[in-house]
Every structure is written in structure tokens, then in C-alpha cells.
């Protein structure tokens, strides 16, 4: 009818000034939302320290891993706040955000110095904050895992000890190795929180890009075995069997196949490689009109020729606004839903991942292991790309 013919014209014929205004408003909203997350991150990982010291990897300036990462034996040992626990770290793992924050000149209020890198931690509780001791929610000797806040804190997991808010902590089942537990916090929380945005996912079809990576290797298992979805993924030919064993129904060799020519009319896309795949996704029929694009705001492992992060840039924000506006008017009629997925440390969500690990429903995919002393080598290995699953750091 006339209304259905008019709505697309309204959506696609914003004048240039309106587009600019909407983009500014959208970016402002995103910045405000990010500020809320940042504020929560800061308050969740603030703790005191004592005259006691510990071993830790730190950096006081930004740059290449082998130039700025330093092992120190006299970093102040943290003291847990009243709502925190002190964990003796047995294992941690490395994520792309660790080297991206390290290699760029980031303001001190975002990354205070000297900075201990690392968000993923698994270990044993050795001290309780006063409120936690009263509540008896955790006990000394408990095996636990957590994702630490990423920014606005100098504390990280690349150390002997870390103090963390108890609300961010999950218990590790006895049958699970702490190295496996350490591999999962950030990636499992990213997946669990992102896929919560899907309505009634069982039986629906999802494309998960970079299936052999840290996020992808958990996402395939979670989408298939927990949510009951049909899973397609992109991976190299060499890693086809790896992702099939994790549960992928369809594997697309990204080197020799164009994913936009292989699949169409999927219900959802989880994209940790948005700098590479976002544009091609919306220019094709990969997603249904009422599908859902889940963007994990990302940049390339490699830098551009001028040393900057390779991202999809302002187009990402415009796509977000366009899809949000269209779906406000006529949900699912013209363009898929679009959501940014920003991970948030959360003990309850992480407990789900640890329980699934304990039940054997999912497994941690570990590419390699490095000692704490070899942290620079671990960073360089991850920066090289093509890591299968996660890199684990052994602290013992």
C-alpha cells in the first residue's frame, strides 16, 4: 500500500544535514554508554597496596612488546577492598585488546602507568575483603576465575596476585584445569552477552566469523550446543576440522570462498572482524531483512601503513544509526537489526561459562602456552595473527 511505499523513501532520503546531525547524536550516545562502562570498570578494580611486593609484567610507555614490557619483582602487592577477593594467579591469557592498548599512545586516565596488562585470570583465593568474609560467598582456597576491568586501572592479570571485586568472580569446577579456565573469561563473556540479544535463537541460523579465533571458538560451541543454532563459520582450510569438531555445520574457507556467495538469509551474524566483513555483509543477502548483525567493535591485528588501527571507521556508526532508525519505524521490514557488543565483566555470566566447561559442554581451545617471563613473546605471537583459540600464560 501507499504507506509501505512511502516509508523506505523517508528512510533513504535524509538530507545531508540530517545525516550529520544523526551521526553526531549517535556518536554522543555511544560515547555516553562507553563512559558508563568505563566508570564501572574503574570502580570495580580499585584497590590499595602494601609494602609487600610481587612479580609482575608492566609497561610505563607504549610501543613494541619486546621494548616496553618489563618483568619486575618489586611491584606493590594489592590489598583487597571490603567487597573484593585477593587471587593468587595460577594462569592468565592474552587478548587482542592487551596488545592494542600497549602499542598505542593511550592517555594516562585511560591506561594508568605503570600498567599491568591482562584481563583474564584464574587462580586461588588467598584473602577476603571484610564484607565478603561476612557473607561467606567465597572462601580462602577457592579456585576461581574472573575478567578484570580493561581500562582506567593499572592492575591486570600478568602478576602474582590480583584483587578483584567479588561480583566479577566465578568458581572453577574441580575437574577443570585452571589454565583452561584462564582462557575463557573475556571471550566467553563476549559471546554470552552478545547472543543474549537474539530472541528465540533455537533452530535459527548464525554466521560466526573467524571461527578458529578466541571469540569464534567459544561462540561456535555456545551457539550450537547451548542455544541449539545452525552454525556457519569462516576459517582457513587448515582449520576446517578444528571448527567442525567444535560444532560448525558449514565452514567457509575465507581465502578461496566469498562468504556472501555461499550463504544467504541467515538470522544472525556475530562479527569479531567487522573492519573486514561489515560492509560486505550489508551489501549482500547474507542476513534476512529481519536478521540481526552483532558487531564486536574491532580493528585489524596489523596496522595500516601509517601506523594506525584499521577499522571500518565512521561507516560503522552510520550503519548503526541507519539500522536503528529504520527498525524504530518498521522493525525487520527493510534492514536487519544492528547492535554493538561491548563486553562487561560479570561473575554470574562467567559462572555459566565455567559450569559449561565443567560439564564438558564446551572446551577451551588453547593455541600455545608461555611463561610469565615470556609475555613479550606471547604478545608478538598473538599480534602475528592466525592463532587458534587462546594463548595461555603459566604463572607457576
Q: What are 303-330's pLDDT values in tens digits?
A: 656 666 655 566 666 566 666 676 676 7
Asked if residue 143 lies in contact with residue 175, where contact means CB atoms within 8 angstroms, the answer is: no
Ranges in the chain, pLDDT < 70: 1-46, 48-49, 298-324, 326-327, 329, 332-334
What's the Cα-to-Cα distance from 134 to each of 82, 172, 336, rounded to whole Å? 10, 22, 49
Other CB atoms within 10 A of residue 261 CB:
11
How many whole angstroms separate alpha carbon 78 and alpha carbon 121? Answer: 15
Asked if residue 233 lies in contact with residue 252, where contact means CB atoms within 8 angstroms, the answer is: yes
* pLDDT tens string 150-209: 988 999 999 999 999 999 999 999 999 999 999 999 999 999 999 999 999 999 999 999
Nearest to 294 by CA among 186, 190, 185: 190
How many whole angstroms separate alpha carbon 332 and alpha carbon 105? Answer: 41
Residues 24, 30, 36, 42: what is their CA dihedral angle, to the nearest 10 degrees?
A: -100
| Beta strand extents in 238-314 (DSSP E only) | 250-253, 266-271, 287-295
Identify the three-state secondary structure at position 276. Answer: helix
Question: What is the predicted pLDDT for the residue at 35?
Answer: 40
Question: What is the predicted pLDDT for the residue at 44?
Answer: 45
Nearest to 223 by CA among 285, 264, 265, 269: 269
Round to the nearest angstrom and report the end-to-end CA distance of the chain: 69
Amino acid at each position: 500500500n501507499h504507506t509501505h511505499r512511502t516509508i523506505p523513501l523517508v528512510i533513504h532520503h535524509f538530507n545531508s544535514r540530517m545525516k550529520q546531525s544523526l551521526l553526531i547524536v549517535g556518536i554522543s550516545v555511544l560515547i555516553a554508554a562507553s563512559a558508563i562502562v568505563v566508570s564501572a570498570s574503574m570502580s570495580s578494580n580499585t584497590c590499595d597496596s602494601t609494602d609487600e611486593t610481587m612479580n609482575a609484567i608492566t609497561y610505563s610507555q607504549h610501543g613494541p612488546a619486546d621494548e616496553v614490557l618489563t618483568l619486575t619483582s618489586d611491584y606493590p602487592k594489592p590489598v583487597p577492598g571490603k567487597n573484593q577477593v585477593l587471587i593468587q594467579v595460577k594462569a592468565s591469557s592474552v587478548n587482542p585488546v592487551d596488545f592494542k592498548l600497549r602499542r598505542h599512545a593511550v592517555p594516562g586516565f585511560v591506561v594508568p602507568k605503570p600498567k599491568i596488562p591482562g584481563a583474564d585470570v584464574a587462580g586461588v583465593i588467598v584473602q577476603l575483603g571484610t564484607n565478603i568474609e561476612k557473607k561467606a560467598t567465597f572462601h580462602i582456597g577457592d579456585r576461581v576465575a574472573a575478567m578484570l576491568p580493561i581500562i582506567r586501572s593499572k592492575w591486570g592479570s600478568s602478576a602474582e596476585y590480583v584483587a578483584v571485586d567479588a561480583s566479577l568472580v566465578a568458581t572453577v569446577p574441580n575437574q577443570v584445569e585452571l589454565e583452561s579456565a584462564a582462557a575463557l573469561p573475556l571471550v566467553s563473556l563476549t559471546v554470552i552477552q552478545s547472543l543474549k540479544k537474539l530472541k528465540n535463537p533455537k533452530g535459527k541460523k548464525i554466521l560466526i566469523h573467524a571461527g578458529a579465533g578466541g571469540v569464534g571458538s567459544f561462540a561456535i560451541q555456545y551457539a550450537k550446543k547451548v542455544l541449539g543454532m545452525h552454525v556457519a563459520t569462516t576459517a582457513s582450510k587448515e582449520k576446517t576440522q578444528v571448527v567442525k569438531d567444535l560444532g560448525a555445520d558449514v565452514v567457509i574457507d575465507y581465502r578461496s570462498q566469498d562468504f556472501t556467495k555461499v550463504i544467504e538469509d541467515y538470522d544472525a551474524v556475530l562479527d569479531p572482524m567487522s573492519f573486514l566483513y561489515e560492509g560486505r555483509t550489508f551489501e549482500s543477502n547474507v542476513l534476512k531483512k529481519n536478521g540481526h548483525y552483532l558487531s564486536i567493535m574491532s580493528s585489524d591485528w596489523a596496522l595500516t601503513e601509517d601506523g594506525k588501527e584499521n577499522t571500518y571507521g565512521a561507516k560503522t556508526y552510520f550503519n548503526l544509526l541507519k539500522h536503528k532508525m529504520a527498525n524504530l519505524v518498521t522493525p525487520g521490514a527493510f534492514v536487519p537489526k544492528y547492535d554493538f557488543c561491548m563486553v562487561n565483566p560479570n561473575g554470574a555470566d562467567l559462572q555459566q561459562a565455567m559450569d559449561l566447561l565443567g560439564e564438558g559442554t564446551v572446551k577451551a581451545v588453547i593455541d600455545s602456552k608461555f611463561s610469565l617471563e615470556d609475555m613479550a613473546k606471547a604478545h608478538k605471537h598473538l599480534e602475528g595473527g592466525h592463532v587458534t583459540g587462546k594463548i595461555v600464560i603459566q604463572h607457576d
